[in-house]
Chain A
Amino acid sequence: MNVQDRRRLLGPSNAKPIVFSAATDIQSSEPKKDESSSFILNSGLIENCNGSSLVEIRDPKVTQHQTSLITSVYGPRATKGSFTSQASLSIQLKNGSSEKYNTTELKEVSSFLVNVFNSVINLSRYPKSGIDIFIYILYDKVLSEESKKSNNISAILPYCISAITLALINAGIEVDDIATAGYYKGDVISFIKNGEEVIGYWKDEGNCESFDVALEHCKTEAQKFKNLITTHILEE
């Protein structure tokens, strides 16, 4: 907690956050082995931004995460400062109810995402303006016991990429292609053009055999997301 934040009501400074007992007393109710995966895509749910998307994914097999992301795209809007011939892009991630990931992790991820989307958005169409993207991690839950320990943010990266793509399309911002990504044992690879071009590669701790193996797995995963997004767009 900050030294003192006078602008927010954070409560008395000497209050201690509550600590929960570790699950020493084994919770019998906990392991509901539900192997069903679900993918819910929605776009345009937020009124006061140009484009938005809601991505709710539960995938017990590959990423072992259950995640819900709200993404909003603001802009192209005016920037301050000197003239720029193309749009500048910024992406920010925010923890929702649970303060799960620390700021450094989120910063790293957002700079990775900026790199990915700099090569996807047709930035030169938008001179002297900025495009701001915000991802709100509504919840994120690890489904398997093993991966609970590592608390890896990389598993939700493909979701973030899909969510941003969807929100950009909803905003009517020009993108070269539907960018998606796949996850395989700590590796995240993002593709465009039917998997012909790699636009981002994220390596995290994980026991991935080799790049080629990861590439193949990620490609199929990415293709899956792409199909989902395509069907969603066509349904609208």
Chain B
Amino acid sequence: MSINFKFPESVIPGQLLCPAFDIKEENDKSIVYEYIAGPGTRLQKHNLNGTVVNIINSTLVGTVKIEEDFKMDSSNLDELNETAEDEKNHSNNGTREIKKIKVSVVHKRNNTSSEVDNELTNNLPKEGDIVLAKVTRITLQNVSLEILAVENSPVPIDSGVGSNGHGVVAAGAGSGSASYSVSQTSSDFGDPFRGTLRSQDVRATERDSVKIIECFKPGDIVRAQILSLGDGVNYYLTTAKDDLGVVFAKSGNGAGNQMYALDWETMVVPSTGATEKRKCAKPF
């Protein structure tokens, strides 16, 4: 991909990256580069030498990542397309091409761990993300889960035992049990993102005959995909794929030993040979 625009390598918040549009003449053809603000950047009006220009600036400390975007979702970029079209009309040059370039900034913290999906500039679960969640409650129709981590990215550090100590009482220090309900909405501590999994989203086939109890037990760690942001409380999740389902479980409702997947609906304790039913994720 040839872009004649020089991007800085590492950036800090507020640093200007590029204008919204750029034109380059190449073989009698003018190429319009349309830059789109991806994660870690924002399109803003800046006052440069007296004129107000649309400029993409960085909003994070990190490194710039540029990628050509072929499949642009037209719906949320209508506005930009219109302006692009306007420009098209102005220069009545039939031979022009519009290239859409997505500019994003990758936070330095996420850069360090290898194999990590760098798209995640922050840890908020989004639609389509794979998450790891713990089953907290099951009913006939629903599984309630607590989202522990977006896959490959540690969930915000500020939830979990480290900060809220919902673990078992340790010596000499009481547990910081999270059971206090606090009036202030977001000042309560250790409130995890919650998800819900409906019985028809458990598997792709025979969706009507799913028995939740034969698929999940409280305490299981489930690999699931986010269907939608859901309502104020829950994300909606699905496990209707081969590689989604229970990844870690203990036998005897959590009292026994670690189990390993035998096939897609059975898990086994290696030392005792006991088996239990689960909707397992394909381990590879």
Chain B residues near A88 (CB, 8 Å)?
A: 185-186
* Additional A-B contacts beyond A48-B158, A75-B186, A77-B193 (20; CB < 8 A): A48-B157, A49-B163, A74-B158, A77-B186, A80-B185, A80-B188, A83-B229, A90-B184, A92-B187, A125-B122, A169-B12, A169-B13, A172-B121, A174-B42, A176-B13, A176-B44, A176-B59, A177-B13, A192-B14, A233-B61
A50 touches B59 (CB 8 A): no
CA distance A127 to B184 in the complex (A): 18
A196 touches B186 (CB 8 A): no
CA distance A113 to B12 in the complex (A): 22
Q: What total count of A-B pairs have CB within 8 Å? A: 117
The answer to whether residues A81 and B232 also contact, given A122-B59, A176-B44, A178-B13 and a CB cut-off of 8 A, is yes
B115 → chain A, closest Cβ, in Å? 19
- Is A9 positioned at the interface, with any CB of B under 8 Å from its CB? no
The answer to whether residues A80 and B233 also contact, given A132-B186, A175-B59 and a CB cut-off of 8 A, is yes
- Is B223 positioned at the interface, with any CB of A under 8 Å from its CB? no
| Chain B residue with the shortest CB-CB distance to A82 | B232
The answer to whether residues A76 and B122 also contact, given A48-B158, A50-B158, A176-B44 and a CB cut-off of 8 A, is yes
- Is B107 positioned at the interface, with any CB of A under 8 Å from its CB? yes
The answer to whether residues A79 and B157 also contact, given A177-B14, A178-B14 and a CB cut-off of 8 A, is no
Chain A residues near B82 (CB, 8 Å)?
A: none
* Most A-side CB within 10 Å, residue of B44, B57, B186, B188: B186
Within 8 A of A (CB), among B1-27: 12-14
The answer to whether residues A76 and B157 also contact, given A130-B185, A175-B59, A233-B12 and a CB cut-off of 8 A, is no
Size range of the interface on B?
35 or more
A75 touches B13 (CB 8 A): no
- Is B245 positioned at the interface, with any CB of A under 8 Å from its CB? no
A229 → chain B, closest Cβ, in Å? 9
- Is A185 positioned at the interface, with any CB of B under 8 Å from its CB? no
- Is B191 positioned at the interface, with any CB of A under 8 Å from its CB? yes
CA distance A184 to B46 in the complex (A): 27
| Chain A residue with the shortest CB-CB distance to B188 | A80
Chain A residues near B232 (CB, 8 Å)?
A: 79-84, 128
Q: List 29 A-B contacts (CB under 8 A).
A: A47-B162, A48-B158, A48-B162, A48-B163, A50-B156, A50-B158, A75-B156, A78-B193, A79-B232, A81-B185, A83-B229, A83-B231, A90-B184, A92-B187, A122-B59, A125-B39, A131-B186, A132-B186, A132-B187, A169-B13, A172-B107, A172-B109, A174-B40, A174-B60, A176-B42, A177-B13, A177-B57, A196-B47, A234-B12
- Is B218 positioned at the interface, with any CB of A under 8 Å from its CB? no
| Chain B residue with the shortest CB-CB distance to A178 | B14
Chain A residues near B192 (CB, 8 Å)?
A: 78
A47 touches B157 (CB 8 A): yes
Chain A residues near B14 (CB, 8 Å)?
A: 175-178, 192-193
CA distance A50 to B61 in the complex (A): 15
A130 touches B186 (CB 8 A): yes
- Is B134 positioned at the interface, with any CB of A under 8 Å from its CB? no
Chain B residues near A4 (CB, 8 Å)?
A: none
Residue-wise interface mask of B (158-192) relative to A, using a CB-CB cutoff of 8 A (1 in contact, 0 not): 11001100000000000000000000111110011
The answer to whether residues A78 and B191 also contact, given A50-B156, A50-B157 and a CB cut-off of 8 A, is yes
